[in-house]
Structure 1
Amino acid sequence: MPARSLEPTMTKMFTDHLQRFLFDDTDVRGEIVSLEQTWRHVQDRHHYPDVIAMRLGELLSAAALLTATLKLDGIMTIEVRGAGPVTLLMAESSPGNGDLEQQLRGIARWDEDAELSQDMSLAELLGNGQIVITLDPRNGKRYQGIVALEQDTLAGCLEHYFMQSEQLPTRLWLAADGERSAGLLLQQLPQSDTQDADAWPRLSMLADTVTSEELLTLEAEPLLFRLFNEEQTRVFTPVPVAFGCTCSRERFAQALGRIDPDELRSIVEEQGQIDTHCHFCNTHYAFTAADVESLIESPEAPSPTVH
């Protein structure tokens, strides 16, 4: 991917994109993500209270940033599981390959009878909980890492995960409001003798000056220039990010095919058909009595098509 030196420009980029960058003669790389349409698509499918939407927006940007650091042909999922008013925040990403853009989706589950306020902390929302990161490649073994919710912010919890699992040192800055979700990531690569040994603490300190307002309102290059104008920063061509769901009638049919046939017939007898829907995109899939019998008799056959 071609790269060029950073210049003080105010060029307007497309809204949903991920900008990779690195610092010459250092062992530090970074990414900035900006989500607008993607974040709107997630919110349009579910009406979340503002305080939950803000956390889910932060998680969505974190998923985009972390996915871009991986060589993964599959799906990455970040689940924040809690025992408070919010029981689940979940973001899922399918990495872009070739001309395909990275695709993101997210959901939250909460007690709709709970009293929520805008100033509730992460601990007040989720109680005792944990973050579960799952890498599910198309080919190969599934990997799962877990870290407790012991920090004040989602960014802090994810940073602690990288430190605890002895992976590359990683810093995150996340922000979200009703219109946009955004994030900044710095990551320290294995160091060589020719590189700037003080770069990691220096660049982390500079990045610590970023504000949520800057993350949400500045384009990537002006933001990088504001933070790192005295560094030799090299930027790559931005890559698009979009909302996208992996659900299909066939996948739901496969899931139904794993249920005991007597249980499936009992549901049909009681309800007339089996109704399913995707939690990410709210798409509805209905399976009639004839569809269910077809699934039971020929589980390997293509899913019956609705005409």
Structure 2
Amino acid sequence: MDTLQKFMFDNGAVRGELVDVSDTWKQVLARQQHPTPVNALLGEMLAAAALLSANLKFNGAIVMQIHGDGPVRLLVVECDSSLRLRATAKLSAEANIDADATLKQLLNQNGHGRFVITLDPQDKLPGQQPYQGIVPLDGDSIAEVIENYMLRSEQLDTRLWLAANDSVSHGLLLQKMPKEGGVDVSGSSDIEIWNRTVMLASTLGKEELLATDIKTLMHRLFWEETIRLFEAQHPTFHCSCSREKVGNMLKMLGKPEVDSALDELGKLGINCDFCGQHYEFDRVDCAQLFATETSSDGLQAPGKFKH
């Protein structure tokens, strides 16, 4: 069972989380396969999304995206307030990926990569739009990209240690407690504790992070600290695609384009990018659509209908 363990250092304004989302990660990989370097990045994003979502106090989802200008065009991970996760990657048609390809080579070859975080409330008020932060792809790893985003956009000192392979996805987050009323709640002792905990966590290598369970890591890294543990949470895989959402996507395309595709194909087949679920619509189905517009929810893009 996947586990996310939140904890806090009693003698300082520092909080932390350890997460193992290996079961969820295996379910993602059972539905899509990519080259090993791409899997490693997507698996690290999966762990990071769970870590960040656990501190959000709203009913909705966090969507993390990296838009790339290299052989990897897009990485997407979504995590809702119940820690239900899904993830997908899109590669260019001509992608040729080396086994040791770096993040920059995969996603930021020309410096045009972008990192996007969207906070999408489930129960939106009339006219309310999701909050979205977009920054350049600044960093040589998923952890560095997110750390830089959190410092630049949220003014939060955040450190991440992430590791994933073809069967395991683990992560550790440390974060200085946010300011209260614009005043930093941390004193000199808190800063010392922050520096010490970061130093301790920085001894953690990727191989150790991959191979070690949460309880052992907690003891190994912070056995000298006084730590308060919270009730463990259990992330799971979940895809929110549905026939209704596919229909909404078709309505966004417009009747002329849908009719043209029906003339060519006879019926429309759409696959969910996240879970691979296949949906089919014939002429009768399509004639019943076209009423309102909504988002496509990560389903296959226009022009990729299948028989």
1:134 pairs with 2:118: yes
Q: 1:159 aligns with which of 139, 144, 147?
A: 147
Contact 1:257 1:295 in 2 (8 A): yes
- The amino acid across from 1:137 in the alignment is P
Residue 178 of structure 1 pairs with residue 162 of structure 2: no
1:295 counterpart SS class: coil
Deviation at 1:287, TM superposition (A): 0.8
CA drift at 1:113 = 3.5
Alpha-carbon distance in 2 for matches of 1:112, 1:274: 22
Alignment of 1:210-229 (within 5 A): 210-229=204-223
Could you list the runs of 5+ residues in structure 1 that have no partner in the other structure?
A: 1-13, 97-101, 301-307
Matching of residue 103 in structure 1 with residue 97 in structure 2: no
Which residue in 1 is equivalent to 2:287?
293
CA RMSD of superposed structures (Å):
1.7
Measure the CA separation in 2 of the matches of 1:151 and 1:194: 29
Alpha-carbon distance in structure 1 between the residues aligned to 2:187 and 2:239: 44
- Give, in whole Å, the separation in 1 of the partners of 2:79 and 2:146: 16
Distance 2:193 2:129 in 1: 35
What aligned pairs does 1:114-129 form with structure 2 within 5 A after superposition? Answer: 114-126=95-107, 127=109, 128=111, 129=113
Q: What SS class does the counterpart of residue 289 from structure 2 fall into?
A: helix
- Distance (Å, rounded) in 2 between the aligned partners of 1:180 and 1:210: 16
CA distance in 2, matches of 1:84, 1:143: 27
- C-alpha displacement of 1:203: 0.8
- Structure with the bigger RCO (C-alpha within 8 Å, sep 6+) is 1
Question: Matched residue of 1:198: which SS?
Answer: helix
Show structure 1 runs of 4+ deviating over 6 A: none
Judge conservation of contact 1:147–1:157 (CA < 8 Å) in 2: no
Q: Corresponding residue for 1:305? A: none
Aligned residues of 2:268 and 2:280 also touching (Cα < 8 A): yes
Amino acid of the residue matched to residue 20 of structure 1? K
Match of 2:246, SS state, is helix
1:40-65 deviation line (CA, Å, top 9, x unaligned): 11111112111111111011111111
**Hey, what's the Cα distance between the residues in 2 that align with 1:90 and 1:53?**
12
Indicate which of 40, 46, 71 corresponds to 2:57: 71
The separation in 2 between residues aligned to 1:240 and 1:166, in whole angstroms, is: 26
Percent same amino acid among aligned pairs? 42
> Which one of the candidate residues 199, 202, 224 is aligned to 1:205?
199
Equivalent residues of 2:14, 2:190 under 8 A apart: no
Q: Could you list the per-position Cα deviations for residues 127-157 of structure 1 after superposition, in whole angstroms to 9, with x for gaps in the alignment? A: 2211111111122441111221231111011
Match of 2:16 among 16, 30, 40: 30
With structure 2 as the length reference, what TM-score do the two structures score? Answer: 0.86
Conserved? CA contact 1:27–1:195, under 8 Å: no
8 Å CA contact retained: 1:25, 1:194: no
What residue number does 1:6 align with?
none
Letter in 1 for 2:118: T
Greater mean deviation of Cα atoms: 50-59 or 269-278: 269-278
- Determine the structure 1 residue equivalent to 2:72: 86
Using the TM superposition, give the Cα deviation of residue 37 of structure 1 relative to its aligned residue in structure 2, in angstroms. 1.6
TM, length-normalised to structure 1: 0.86
